[in-house]
């Protein structure tokens, strides 16, 4: 490995080093705040090293990784998401009397897995990243083991993720059997060399790999775990599950499927279109029936990744950019939502039913305003980032002529009003008496407040002037086929 390779890998090494440092420090001095600060420092240094890595991009680190502008954009997004989760976790964990510092080791390792996925150029890296991400997540979901629901969620997640990992591995074996190689580029070559159709082995393998990824994205029919685990996991972990652990999978899928031409792969692409359509419909319809904020967000996230799959299917020049842009808007809004939920949760139970938020605006106007901005963005109201995200998805889909999917998108997104509006109405009705909802009274810590406000400002700014970010993402995410 050359010095340039090292520099290109700096972000990964910073995160890995931070995990080791936190672990070493904990063995001498157990302090939650210190661990959190070290974690934050590691992540920020990793973020700061991105420009250095950028100067060497695109650079293949054979055979596993490929650090190019596409990967770096996603790296930045994942790192920012992890920073936000770290900040939220610090305050959340303080409420529990237990050893808390170790949480950050898991968080860092999980994040490292996500980063590897975003830069993966080889199926081994794909699998390695996914496992690193998942194994740490099992523990994080059940970290507050005094809560029964968290434990139940952790066990469920462990079993289901285990099954899908096995499927994924089997898919990799099939692909290896068909290609004799595990590099993404070999797949591209095989596709280019067989315009009439791929071997059934290869198609089956790709489908299994997609299933493994789809489980993480929680799209139909691999979505069943989502509401249970969203609800059971601690709010900051749910934030991580909903953003970082899904975003990195979108990145790897985009890269993995980039060489495929939709026209010659009708079977595979029709199956994916069915998944996208079903996710949008099921997610939005089932969210209607929920009374729990975390479950509403879980079902709506199923729908959101259905939307992203539309851009993914559109492919071409604009598909990856639209998907990445949508991820940015979804990250910001989702992080705010779960950050606020985590903040308002008292120790004994999460504040996650809609009734808990009744009259929130009159008790805690700041939290209510933040949550409103996030929800308006998720709903796709004009002048918020969410609207722009949907707009680009529709534009990319329209350019690729995916009209049936676009109609499903528009119709099902309209349903979103019904359940998102319930939350808004609950927050602004009521008189503001303490007894109305079960939320914590503690004021925001300055760090969390800063992160939340920055994210909210981002949503508004992107909603008004998306051009700079979009241009940047478009330039960076053009994937060479």
Partner 1 sequence: MTPSATALLLLLLPLGGALLTALFLRRRGEAAAWLSVGVAGVLLLLGLGLIFSGERFDRSVEWLRFGEFSLSLGFLFDDLAALMLFVVVFVGFWIHLFSLGYMKGDPHKARFFGGLSLFMFAMIGMTLADDLIMLFIFWELVGLSSYLLINFYFHKPAAVAASKKAFIVNRIGDFGFLLGIIWAYWAFGSINLNEIAVIIGEKPETIATGIALLLFCGAVGKSGQIPLHVWLPDAMEGPTPVSALIHAATMVAAGIYLLCRVSVVMTTEAATVILWIGVATAVYAGFCAIAQRDIKKILAYSTISQLGFMVAAFGLGTRLALADGGSITLGMVTAGAAAAMFHLTTHAFFKALLFLGAGSIIHACHHEQDIFKMGGLARSTPLTFITFTIGVLALIGMPFLAGFFSKDAILYLAWQVSPVAFYLLVLGALLTAFYMSRLWAVAFFGAPRSDGAKHAHENGPVMVVPLIVLALFSIVAGYDALYPEAFAAVMAAIPHPSGADKTLIVGVSVAVLVVGVLSALLFYRPGAAEDALERKARPVHRFLAARLWFDDVYNWYVAKVQQRLALVLSYLELVFISGLLVRGLAGFSGLLGLGLRSLHTGNLNAYLYWILIGLVLLWGLTIGLASGS
Tell which positions 147-176 bind partner 1, by CB under 8 A: 155-156, 159-160, 163-164, 167
Report residue 65: phi and psi, to 5°: -115, 160
Q: What angle do CA 75, 235, 417 make, to 5 degrees?
A: 90
Note whether 290 and 419 are within 8 A (CB).
yes
**Residues 373-412 close enough to bind partner 1 by CB under 8 A:** 381-383, 387-388, 391-392, 394-396, 398-399, 403, 406-407, 410-411
In terms of DSSP H, where are the helices of 400-445? 403-428
Min dist CB 476 to partner 1, Å, is: 15
Binding mask 299-338 for partner 1 (x = CB under 8 A): ------------------xx--xx----------------
Q: What's the token pair of residue 350?
A: 């999460």
Binding-site member from 347, 349, 418, 433 for partner 1 (CB under 8 A): 418
Shortest gap between Cβ of 394 and partner 1 (angstroms)?
7
- Closest by alpha carbon to 184, among 151, 212, 206? 206
Which of 104, 143, 184, 222 contacts partner 1 by CB under 8 A? Answer: 222
| Identified binder of partner 1 from the candidate list 174, 203, 235, 373, rule CB under 8 A | 203
User: Whole-number minimum distance, CB 127 to partner 1, in Å?
Assistant: 18
Looking at beta carbons only, is 95 or 149 nearer to partner 1? 149
* Least distance to partner 1, CB of residue 83, Å: 27
Q: Which of residues 27-66 bind partner 1 (CB under 8 A)?
A: none
d(CA 5, CA 279): 40
Whether residue 59 contacts residue 5, with contact meaning beta carbons closer than 8 Å, is answered with yes
Helix axes 244-257, 319-344, angle to 10 degrees: 170
From residue 60, alpha-carbon distances to 16, 48, 52, 113, 119 in Å are 20, 21, 15, 18, 10
Q: Measured from the CB of residue 251, what is the shortest distance to partner 1 in angstroms?
A: 20
Q: Which of 355, 428, 440, 454 binds partner 1 (CB under 8 A)?
A: 428
Q: Which residues ranging from 254 to 273 are in contact with partner 1 (CB under 8 A)? A: 265-268, 270-271
What six digits make up the tokens of 248?
């990195």
Nearer to partner 1, 261 or 431 (CB): 431
Phi and psi dihedrals of 143, rounded to 5?
A: -60, -40
Kindly state whether residue 420 participates in binding partner 1, applying the rule CB under 8 A.
no
> Is residue 449 involved in binding partner 1 (CB under 8 A)?
no
Least separation in angstroms between CB 68 and partner 1: 21
Compute how many residues bind partner 1; rule: CB under 8 A.
72
Residue 95 or 156: which CB sits closer to partner 1?
A: 156
For residue 43, whether the previous peptide bond is cis, meaning omega lies within 30 degrees of 0, is no
Name which of residues 225 to 254 contact partner 1 (CB under 8 A): 225, 227-228, 231
Q: How far is the CB of 301 from partner 1 (least distance, A)?
A: 16
DSSP for 27-93, written as a single string: HH---HHHHHHHHHHHHHHHHHTHHHHHHH-SEEETTTEEE-HHHHHHHHHHHHHHHHHHHHHHHHH
Q: Is 216 in the site for partner 1 (CB under 8 A)?
A: no
CB count in 10 Å sphere of residue 99:
11
**H helix or E strand, kind and range, residue 146:** none
The residue among 139 and 286 lying less far from partner 1, judged by its C-beta, is 286
């Amino acid at each position: 490995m050359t010095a340039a390779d090292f520099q290109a890998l700096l972000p990964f090494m910073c995160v890995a080093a931070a995990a080791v440092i936190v672990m070493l420090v904990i063995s001498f001095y157990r302090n939650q705040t210190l661990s959190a600060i070290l974690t934050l420092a590691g992540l920020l240094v990793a973020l700061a090293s991105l420009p250095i890595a950028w100067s060497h991009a695109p650079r293949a680190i054979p055979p596993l990784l490929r650090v190019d502008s596409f990967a770096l954009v996603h790296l930045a997004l994942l790192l920012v998401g992890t920073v936000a989760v770290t900040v939220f976790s610090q305050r959340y964990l303080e409420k529990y009397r237990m050893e808390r510092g170790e949480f950050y080791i898991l968080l860092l390792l999980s994040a490292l897995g996500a980063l590897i996925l975003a830069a993966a150029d080889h199926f081994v890296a794909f699998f390695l990243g996914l496992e690193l991400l998942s194994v740490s997540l099992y523990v994080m979901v059940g970290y507050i083991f005094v809560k029964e629901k968290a434990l139940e969620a952790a066990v469920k997640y462990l079993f289901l993720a285990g099954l899908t990992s096995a499927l994924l591995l089997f898919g990799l074996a099939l692909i290896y059997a068909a290609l004799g190689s595990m590099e993404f580029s070999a797949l591209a070559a095989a596709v280019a060399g067989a315009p009439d159709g791929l071997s059934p082995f290869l198609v089956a393998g790709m489908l299994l790999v997609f299933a493994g990824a789809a489980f993480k994205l929680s799209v139909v029919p691999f979505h069943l775990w989502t509401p249970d685990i969203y609800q059971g996991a601690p709010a900051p972990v749910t934030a991580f599950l909903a953003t970082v652990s899904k975003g990195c999978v979108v990145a790897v899928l985009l890269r993995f499927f980039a060489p495929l031409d939709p026209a010659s792969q009708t079977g595979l692409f029709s199956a994916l279109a069915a998944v996208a359509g079903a996710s949008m419909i099921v997610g939005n319809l089932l969210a209607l029936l929920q009374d729990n904020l975390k479950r509403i967000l879980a079902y709506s996230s199923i729908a959101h990744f259905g939307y992203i799959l539309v851009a993914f299917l559109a492919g071409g020049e604009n598909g990856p950019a639209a998907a990445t842009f949508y991820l940015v808007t979804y990250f910001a809004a989702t992080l705010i939502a779960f950050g606020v939920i985590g903040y308002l949760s008292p120790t004994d139970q999460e504040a996650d039913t809609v009734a808990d938020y009744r009259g929130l605006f009159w008790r805690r106007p700041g939290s209510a305003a933040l949550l409103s901005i996030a929800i308006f963005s998720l709903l796709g109201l004009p002048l918020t980032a969410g609207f722009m995200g949907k707009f680009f998805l529709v534009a990319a889909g329209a350019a690729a002529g995916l009209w049936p999917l676009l109609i499903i998108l528009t119709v099902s997104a309209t349903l979103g009003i019904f359940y998102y509006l319930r939350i808004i109405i609950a927050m602004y009705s009521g008189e503001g008496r303490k007894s109305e909802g079960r939320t914590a009274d503690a004021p925001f810590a300055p760090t969390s407040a800063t992160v939340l406000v920055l994210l909210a400002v981002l949503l508004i700014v992107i909603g008004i002037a998306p051009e700079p970010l979009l241009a940047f993402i478009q330039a960076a995410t053009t994937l060479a086929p």
